[in-house]
Amino acid sequence: MRYAYSLLRTCMTHGSQLRTTRRSLSTVTASGPTTPSEHFIFHPDFFSEREQKILLSASLEKLDAVESRDFRRRRKEYRSKHSAQGDLVALRLEDIFLPDEYYCFEEGHYDGVIRNYREMHVSSWPEGYPELPGILARLDPLHPDEPTQSHIIHLASDGEILPHVDNTEASGSWILGVSLGSTRLLRLESVEDASDVHDILVPSGSVYLQRDSIRYGYKHSILKDYSKFSYGQRLSIMLRDCR
């Protein structure tokens, strides 16, 4: 089975009209990564559904643990009324998320880049998932062999991350993102040429790495409104090199 992946390249034409051309950049086998640029590496189908469920449950558990007693009580009540909630195998991935109102999403980030989200740095993972260390270790060969910092971002159904280049003083030359939950659009926009825009769909279980020229020379954003796709909750596990 072969997958054809393409990027949407948006070009600014005379008179400021947007023209969008679909450009097929690569064709890969089901197991192989796509490589639109040597500094952007995309693995569309990296984690199995079981692995995704474990990663998502462990990440939500981390975020849930630091919320107020009131939210924790509300979630407990919800779970007691929905017995399948305790059974990871029976649950569909999207049903691991509780409805939006059971989470305390922040409306805005201090720098205005993220809307309707929860986030945290992760230095240790919950212990109730024996397979988790092995699943996380599968990411090691995908990035340079150096110490990493981990970060979880949970977007509400209408949450989004606006275009930005990361503060490169706080992290180094690469960033790796694991996508879980709703498929969203990752947009890369050149900081020097506004017509140089690449859109990549990032489905659940996919992993991308951006480094060097893409990391410093392009803004990245996670958009909420991509008409062909539903936009439910999404959680990303972000790894960066430490500075």
Ligand X SMILES: O=C(O)CCC(=O)C(=O)O
Residue 200 makes contact with ligand X by CB under 6 A: no
Q: How far is the CB of 157 from ligand X (least distance, A)?
A: 15
Our CB check for ligand X shows the closer of 135 and 161 to be 161
Angle at the Cα of 179 from the Cα atoms of 174 and 182, rounded to 5 degrees:
150
Residue 96 makes contact with ligand X by CB under 6 A: no
Find all residues with CB under 8 Å of 92, minimum gap 6, and list them. none
Enumerate residues 213-242 that contact ligand X by CB under 6 A.
220, 222, 236, 238
Which 3 state secondary structure label does DSSP give 60? helix
Give the C-alpha separation, 49 to 235, whole Å: 15
Our CB check for ligand X shows the closer of 79 and 163 to be 163
Give the C-alpha separation, 138 to 122, whole Å: 18
Question: To which H or E segment does residue 217 belong?
Answer: helix 212-217
Contact 132, 125 (CB under 8 A): yes
Q: How far is the CB of 191 from ligand X (least distance, A)?
A: 15
Residue 59 makes contact with ligand X by CB under 6 A: no
**Position 100: which residue type?**
D
Kindly state the number of chain residues that form the binding site for ligand X, as judged by CB under 6 A.
8
Residue 57 makes contact with ligand X by CB under 6 A: no
Residue 166 makes contact with ligand X by CB under 6 A: yes
One of 177, 189, 207, 218 touching ligand X (CB under 6 A): 177
One of 98, 161, 207, 214 touching ligand X (CB under 6 A): 161
Q: How far is the CB of 177 from ligand X (least distance, A)?
A: 4
Listing DSSP states for 195-212 in one string gives T-EEEEEE-TT-EEEEEH
Give the C-alpha separation, 121 to 149, whole Å: 8
Residues in contact with ligand X by the rule CB under 6 A: 153, 161, 166, 177, 220, 222, 236, 238
